[in-house]
Amino acid sequence: MVKVAFVGCGGIQNEHYKHLCAMDDVRLVGHCDVEKARAEAAAEKYGGDVFTDYKALYDKTKPDAVYVSVPPFAHVGMEEEAAGRGIHLFVEKPVATELATAKRIAEAIRKSEIIVSVGYCFRYYDTVSQARQILKGKCPSLIHGAWNGGMPEVWWWRRMDKSGGQVVEQTTHIFDLVRYLCGEVAEVYAVASTGCQNHVESFSIHDSSVVSLRLKCGGIACITSSCVANHSAQVGVEIVTPDMTLSIAWGKLTMKEDSKVTEFTSKVNIYEEESKVFIEAVKTGKRNKIRSSYTDALKTFMVTHAANESIRSGLPVKP
């Protein structure tokens, strides 16, 4: 039986609860949130004890694994304390808002050798695996990615110091897909706009941004983000190679070759998949099926962090 505890009992944790409580070999032992009522609500629904301090959660419930689903600014020691106790970690993306924090956590994890999975859930689509297979050995020439939509309701999202902005918090999924499918990023150059959301209280992130990436394989990418596009959401990646164009949008993969168009639809629930793989890794000690380690997620964070730096300085930045 794998004993699992939770730090942060908000929106996405509710998705994780759903899948974990359906697994026969998992027991939910405790819930910690700075808003006690959220931990209480989770405990009432799924069982386990209530905490407002993660160290007390770790010491009293002695979990095998912890799901950390706090906002980006709130990675204030829960990973390092878990690593120090040998507790395995599932950590929601993005890994932090500050590079120094992310690097410090990565070092604690490296020393501890615990198993860590970061919630880059798009990697668990069967259609993304298929795209990865198709792209093996090919040279992507041009990539266009986008996360253009509205603004999530959580209060911290619209504050640069709390979320890191849309590129770091949300479009990170798209940057991560580009790395996963097309390889590492050599250089980042970005511009952003502001001014359309002045009526929104405490709004301090960019309205929209365009990030250019030069990839190590020689290809280039343009990734756009917007949170003013309530009316026309567009989320996905298009990859152009000399033989084909692949489009990935949520669970759909479309392959366009000369006169042929082939479509694939995902058959999996990505949140269920990522938890199944993580729990199996905790049980067996084998981490090879985990698709996003902390070290890998840190690289995606560094690309998005470089985009913010480039927006600030007006210069290209190497991540």
Ligand X SMILES: NC(=O)c1ccc[n+]([C@@H]2O[C@H](COP(=O)([O-])OP(=O)(O)OC[C@H]3O[C@@H](n4cnc5c(N)ncnc54)[C@H](O)[C@@H]3O)[C@@H](O)[C@H]2O)c1
Q: Pick the stretch among 70-78, 125-133, 217-225, 240-248 that binds ligand X (CB under 6 A).
A: 70-78
Provide the β-strand partners of residue 247: 238, 254
Beta-strand relationship, 142-148 and 65-68: unpaired
Q: Does 251 bind ligand X (CB under 6 A)?
A: no
Q: Does 38 bind ligand X (CB under 6 A)?
A: yes
Of 81 and 207, CB closest to ligand X: 81
Distance, in Å, from the CA atom of 237 to the CA atom of 254, rounded to the nearest integer, reads: 11
Q: Does 63 bind ligand X (CB under 6 A)?
A: no
Residue nearest to ligand X (CB): 10
Distance, in Å, from the CA atom of 43 to the CA atom of 231, rounded to the nearest integer, reads: 37
Task: State the number of binding residues for ligand X (CB under 6 A).
Answer: 25
Q: Pick the stretch among 28-36, 108-116, 280-288, 295-303 that binds ligand X (CB under 6 A).
A: 28-36
Q: Does 121 bind ligand X (CB under 6 A)?
A: yes
Touching ligand X, residues 164-193 (CB under 6 A):
169
SS3 18: helix
Q: What is the DSSP letter of 106?
A: H
**CB of residue 197 vs ligand X: minimum separation in angstroms?**
19
Q: Does 291 bind ligand X (CB under 6 A)?
A: no
162, amino acid identity? K
**CB of residue 314 vs ligand X: minimum separation in angstroms?**
27
For residue 11, give the nearest of 65, 71, 52, 64 by alpha carbon. Answer: 71
Q: Does 92 bind ligand X (CB under 6 A)?
A: yes
Both tokens of 209, joined, read 């941004």
Among 7, 102, 146, 306, binds ligand X (CB under 6 A): 7
Both tokens of 22, joined, read 């359906």
Q: Pick the stretch among 33-41, 110-118, 130-138, 292-300 that binds ligand X (CB under 6 A).
A: 33-41
Positive or negative, the CA dihedral 296, 265, 215, 149 is: negative
For residue 104, give the nearest of 121, 133, 80 by alpha carbon. Answer: 80
Q: Does 32 bind ligand X (CB under 6 A)?
A: yes
Beta-strand relationship, 142-148 and 185-193: unpaired
User: Where do contacts with ligand X occur on this chain (CB under 6 A)?
Assistant: 7-13, 32-35, 38, 54, 69-72, 74, 76, 92-93, 119, 121, 154, 169
